[in-house]
Amino acid sequence: MAELQLREAIRAALVEEMDRDEDIFLMGEEVAEYNGAYKVSEGMCDRYGDRRVIDTPISECGFAGLGLGAAMDGLRPVIEFMTWNFAFVAFDQIINNAAKIRYMSGGQFSFPIVFRGPNGAAGQLAATHNTSVESIYSCFPGLKVISISNPDDAKGLLKSAIRDNDPVVFLESEFMYGMRGEVSDADDYIIPIGKARIAREGDAVTIIGHNKSYWRAMEAAEMLTSDGYEAEVIDPRTIRPFDWDTVITSVKKTNRCVIVDESNPFASLSSEIAFQIQSRSFDDLDAPVQRVTSKDTPAPYAKNLVEYYLPSAEDVYRACREVMYLD
């Protein structure tokens, strides 16, 4: 096991895959000469040259579409969005082309493409630079959506995403790029898409959290341990397809569930999880499913407001105690 930063784990996945398969290329703003806005692709242009690591103008719609065209003809593009906020100008390409053309062509053309970049809160950048997009892309059949919380998952899942023959939305985090963690050095380490990870076992409550929210879930679980309760923490890792079995099995054991998600609340992933839980384990629930999300407002700039805006471990802890009827 090597200890890597999240950005290094992502890079390791890219490099292993690009070494293996000549059809893979990386494209995006500042990925080549600048070595990546967040240094994910550091050194990759040197290694592969500008044929395979390609800087673009600020034309997200154009280069997302270019990637899709290349994928339609058999290449395997990895398209980096500097952040997912900037992909809204390419939204039509992802929704109407990536997700739907395979279907409309009766399965003739497929899209072995990965769109990746940091998602969600990134500090005091205000409303346009802090959107969480997992729920929005997961709405659309035709896409797969992955959101990672640590270097090991990042490596194993990005390798899977790159090999997958369907379009994958791969969500990282500015805040976590520098985070270190053990990464398997198994040969060709692959984590299958669609499998959640039980990060911690327990029977008192099920807490579900992905990406940064996973860490809030873990912190809350620690706090509950001090109170004498063991929470089960699940990192879904893949948002679409979602691993319902793992979640439902857990809820059948704990009989209560708290979801942590940095998204705005309305019609989000947490809503869907609540729907599924009440639908699949109605009689097992001892309390309503609760969620801890960002506030139902745009993200502010001021530091104190940003802290208030985002889900905190405290919030999660309180929600757990609430569904456990402790307060």
Partner 1 sequence: MAVKTKRAAATNGQTDVSFDIIETKSTFRSYPGDRFTHSDLGLSVADIGDIYRNMLLQRRFEERSAQMYGRQKIGGFLHLYIGQEAISTGSVYALQPGLDSVITAYRDHGIALAIGMSSNECMAELFGRVDGCSKGKGGSMHFFSKEKRMFGGHGIVGAHIPLAAGIAFAHKYRNDRGVVFCYLGDGAVWQGSFHEALNLASLYKLPVVYVIENNEYAMGTAVDRAAAETDLFKQGISYAMPGSLVDGMDVFSVCQAMRDHAALAREGQPSLVEVRTYRYRGHSMSDPGKYRTKEELEQKKNEDPILRLKSYIIENDLMKVEELDVLDIEVKAEVSASVTFADESPLSPLEAIYDDVYTQTDFPFLTK
Of residues 46-105, which lie at the interface with ligand TPP (CB under 6 A)?
58, 60, 82, 86, 89
Q: By CB under 8 A, how many residues form the interface with a second copy?
A: 49
Residue 42 binds which entry of partner 1, a second copy, ligand TPP, none, with Cβ cut-offs from 5 to 8 Å by kind? Answer: none
- Return d(Cα 64, Cα 80) in angstroms, integer: 9
User: Nearest approach, Cβ of 61 to partner 1 (angstroms)?
Assistant: 5
Tell the smallest beta-carbon distance from residue 83 to ligand TPP (Å). 7
CA-to-CA dists, residue 238 to 2, 20, 119, angstroms? 24, 24, 14
Residue 263 touches which of partner 1, a second copy, ligand TPP, none (Cβ within 5-8 Å per kind): a second copy
Active site residues: 60, 129
Q: Which is nearer to a second copy, 34 or 301 (CB)?
A: 301
Buried b (16+ CB within 10 A) or exposed e, 306-324: beebbbbbebbbbbbbbbb
Binding-site member from 175, 190, 194, 198 for partner 1 (CB under 8 A): 194
Nearer to ligand TPP, 80 or 134 (CB): 80
d(CA 256, CA 70): 46
Give, as ranges, the residues between 71 and 130 that touch partner 1 (CB under 8 A). Answer: 71-75, 77, 85-86, 88-89, 92-93, 96-97, 101-110, 123-129
Q: Tokens in use for 290?
A: 């609760």
C-alpha 271/C-alpha 135 separation (Å) is 10
E strands, 238-289, are: 238-240, 257-261
For residues 204 and 230, is the Cβ–Cβ distance under 8 A?
Answer: yes
Our finding on whether 109 is near a second copy (CB under 8 A) is no
Residues 6 or more apart in contact with residue 125 via CB below 8 angstroms: 299, 301
Closest to 231 (Cα-Cα) out of 260, 199, 262: 199
Interface pattern 10-49 for ligand TPP (x via CB under 6 A): -------------------x--------------------
Out of 66, 75, 139, 199, the only residue in the binding site for a second copy (CB under 8 A) is 139
For 126, the token pair is: 């205000």
| Dihedral angle, C-alpha 208, 214, 215, 220, nearest 10 ° | -10
Q: Which of 136, 119, 63 is CA-nearest to residue 93?
A: 63
- Using CB under 6 A as the binding criterion, the count of chain residues that bind ligand TPP stands at 6
Tell which residue, 55, 44, 40, has the closest CA to residue 19. 44
* Interface contacts to a second copy, rule CB under 8 A: 61, 85, 88-89, 91-92, 95-96, 99-100, 103-104, 126-128, 131, 135-136, 138-142, 240, 263-264, 266-272, 274-275, 278-279, 282, 285, 287-291, 296-298, 300-301
* Interface contacts to ligand TPP, rule CB under 6 A: 29, 58, 60, 82, 86, 89
